[in-house]
């Protein structure tokens, strides 16, 4: 039997994002905290692969000075070398606008500059750097570590409960629908829900 994919519950998603927000108690460094929050959110709300986040450029979310309503992933960014377009949630678009205010405008970023970078010569964050950030921050926030793909899994699983598999395949950028079918199989949240349903319902004392 295949191991269930790792998926966060709605509560865990909320707790994790709240921890990453720059205004969370004890958080240091407004710019870096917001950058990390936005990277996690773009995987959770748009289902990007970690490699796509690493290679994302300003032009994939903006045209000139205007923000797009979609993330436009070009062939040079995607794993499958095919373009795909993903509509943005309102909170993701807002987070990217703050990225523009905190990072891109102050550093005079050009359209082809990477969206997420460190402090040296606007060099993009590597896949490994993003993985470490997600791993450590999730452990701090939730008490257990996740990898970036768990955020993409969560995005896909949430979609599957609201739409059909073909749309999920398109948004995830899967070349084959067989890759998308893993989200029709039970995950850790499904298994927990099934067991919880066995708990006796408390009797009403009245």
Residue 185 annotated as catalytic: no
Catalytic residue among 34, 35, 49, 124: 49
Residue 31 annotated as catalytic: no
Catalytic residue among 21, 31, 32, 149: 149
Catalytic residue among 58, 124, 153, 174: 174
Catalytic residue among 75, 79, 91, 166: 75
Cβ-based neighbours of 65, under 8 Å, separated by 6 or more: none
Catalytic residue among 16, 19, 37, 183: 183
Q: How many alpha carbons fall within 13 Å on the CB side of residue 105?
A: 10
Place of tokens 């452990």: 139
Q: For residue 136, count CB atoms less than 10 angstroms from its CB and return exposed for 0-12, middle for 13-18, buried for 19 or more.
A: exposed
Residue 19 annotated as catalytic: no
Catalytic residue among 35, 58, 84, 152: 152
Residue 152 annotated as catalytic: yes
Cβ-based neighbours of 203, under 8 Å, separated by 6 or more: none
Residue positions annotated with a catalytic role: 49, 75, 149, 152, 174, 183
């Amino acid at each position: 039997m295949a191991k269930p994919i790792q998926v966060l519950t709605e509560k865990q998603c909320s707790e994790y994002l709240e921890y990453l927000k720059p205004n969370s108690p004890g958080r240091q460094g407004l710019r870096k905290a917001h950058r990390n929050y936005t990277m996690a959110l773009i995987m959770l709300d748009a289902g990007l692969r970690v490699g796509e986040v690493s290679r994302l450029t300003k032009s994939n979310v903006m045209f000139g000075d205007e923000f797009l309503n979609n993330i436009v992933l070009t062939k040079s960014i995607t794993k499958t070398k095919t373009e795909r377009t993903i509509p943005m949630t309102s909170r993701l678009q807002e987070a990217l606008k703050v990225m523009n205010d905190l990072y891109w405008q102050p550093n005079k970023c050009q359209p082809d500059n990477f969206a997420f970078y460190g402090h040296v010569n606007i060099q993009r964050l590597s896949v490994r750097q993003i993985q470490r950030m997600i791993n450590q921050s999730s452990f701090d926030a939730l008490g257990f570590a996740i990898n970036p793909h768990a955020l993409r899994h969560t995005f896909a699983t949430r979609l599957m409960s609201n739409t059909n598999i073909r749309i999920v395949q398109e948004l995830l950028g899967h070349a084959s629908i067989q890759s998308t079918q893993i989200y029709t199989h039970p995950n850790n949240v499904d298994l927990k829900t099934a067991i919880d349903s066995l708990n006796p319902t408390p009797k009403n004392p009245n």
